[in-house]
Amino acid sequence: MTELRRHLYLILSTLIVVALLSLLIGGVQLMLLGLCCLSFLWLIGYWYHLIKLVRWLERPKLRNVPHGIGIWNNIFNTLMLQAKSRKKRKQKLGVALLRFNRIAETIPEGVLILGLDGRIQWLNHVAAIHLNLNAERDINGILAELMGSTDFKQFLNKQTPASVDMKLTLDKSDSGLPRILNIIRTPFDEQATLIITQDITAAEQLNATRTAFVANVSHELRTPLTVINGFLETLTDMPELPQEQRQSFIALMSKESARMRNLLADLLTLSRLESQTDISMRKQPVNLTALAEQVVHAARILSADKHTFVCELATDIWVNGIQQDLYNAFSNLLFNAVRYTPPQGTIAVRLTSEQYQHDFWRAIFQVSDTGAGIAAEHIPHLTERFYRVDSGRSRQSGGTGLGLAIVKHALAEHNGKLQIESVVGSGSTFCAILPQMKSDKRLDSCGTLA
């Protein structure tokens, strides 16, 4: 305001001085002519600066700010400061927008913004993955039509001022398996709605697994408890029962109680294996050769000379691990072979090592039997808890249905894996593969164990 007042004073004083001088020199006519010339010069100057301003506004560049005379210099400087301020604000907004986009792409939930017409205004890549959308192709598309679900369309059209949610199951996902989503719809502003998607597939599967696990445990415990309770009632109601029959009942109860003890022991072992987080501090060098010999000795006792054992063990095979867990894994493999191989059958046990990468070796504990074999459709499910190919035969042999699940978890904690091959009518082969500490491949054949 001060600069404008000064500029007006300058114009008025200049006009007055020119008018007085012209009047004194040439009279009124010269005064009028002088004022007209001065006004024309002022007008040309204004047009000149105005053209410079228009050209600069068309392509504003802070490095090429025009220079002016008088108040025009102030105008140009003010515009330059405003342009710098706008540029800084634009840069800050750009950084903030970039950070928002990074945050939106980092959060594990999917986020979509829908207009009042149901069209997608914005979505992050997680939402695109959850709903099987293409972030570029489906932008501005109508979400209800893209999903093709009647329930989902009704959910989107539901009129409510508060947040609502629904559970949606998609037939396909990137993995080819059904995906279960929890979808939340909440008001965003007067012109948009916010959709949040959460992938709860793992949680739902865990709940289903937990429910099935509890049901299986209850079923496994109900049978022996029913048998024991029935025999106890019989013994109580019939005190004069013959001694031979009484001993038979006691033997059956003892067998069922032993089965429950085995089941509980396997459950505790499996629970411990699944709950272990940091086992690296408890690992130590384990001599697999000595451990395999112990397992074979225990299997011979379990077999009671009903099977022929062929053993071929490499000497000095060492791994870094937990001996008890490795014993549980190896013994389950070998004890299963004893249980499911008919009498006079052959069970072969091999412990070898092989080089699978440069300077890396692995130990292989292999158990082969001449049992009935397993159909191919059952093999992928053998390591599931309580999965049995023949439920009645498994219980009769004393199996708990948890043995191979224990093997799977025990090998996993040692960065190992289980391989299964089987042909119906020809027997099965189970291989436990573990990273080896040293690569001595000398074989020590222990022949046939009577």
The most confident of the ranges 157-171, 188-202, 380-394 is: 188-202
* Residue 189 sits in the same domain as residue 89: no
Q: Round the average pLDDT of the chain to a whole number and report it.
A: 79
State residue 175's pLDDT score: 56
* Residue 236 sits in the same domain as residue 181: no
Mean pLDDT of 226-238: 80
How many domains are there within the chain? Answer: 4
* Residue 431 sits in the same domain as residue 307: yes
Question: pLDDT by residue (tens digit) across 267-303?
Answer: 787 777 777 665 666 788 999 999 999 999 999 998 9
Amino acid identity, position 94: G
* Residue 32 sits in the same domain as residue 129: no
* Residue 290 sits in the same domain as residue 142: no
* Residue 311 sits in the same domain as residue 440: yes
In which domain, by residue range, is 169 found? 108-199
State residue 6's pLDDT score: 66
Where is the domain boundary, 220, 237, 271? 271
Question: pLDDT by residue (tens digit) across 234-271?
Answer: 778 787 778 888 888 888 888 778 778 877 877 787 77
Residue 354 CA to its chain's centroid (Å) = 34
* Whether the predicted pLDDT of 338 surpasses 80: yes
Where is the domain boundary, 251, 271, 291? 271
* Whether the predicted pLDDT of 439 surpasses 50: no
* Residue 257 sits in the same domain as residue 294: no
* Residue 440 sits in the same domain as residue 369: yes
pTM over 0.75: no
Which own/partner pairs from 405-411 qualify as long-range (CB within 8 Å, at least 24 positions apart)? 405/270, 406/266, 406/269, 406/270, 406/273, 406/328, 406/329, 406/332, 407/328, 407/329, 407/332, 407/333, 407/383, 407/432, 408/383, 409/270, 409/273, 409/274, 410/273, 410/325, 410/326, 410/328, 410/329, 411/329
CA distance to 133, 139, 145, per residue, from 128 (Å)? 4, 10, 15
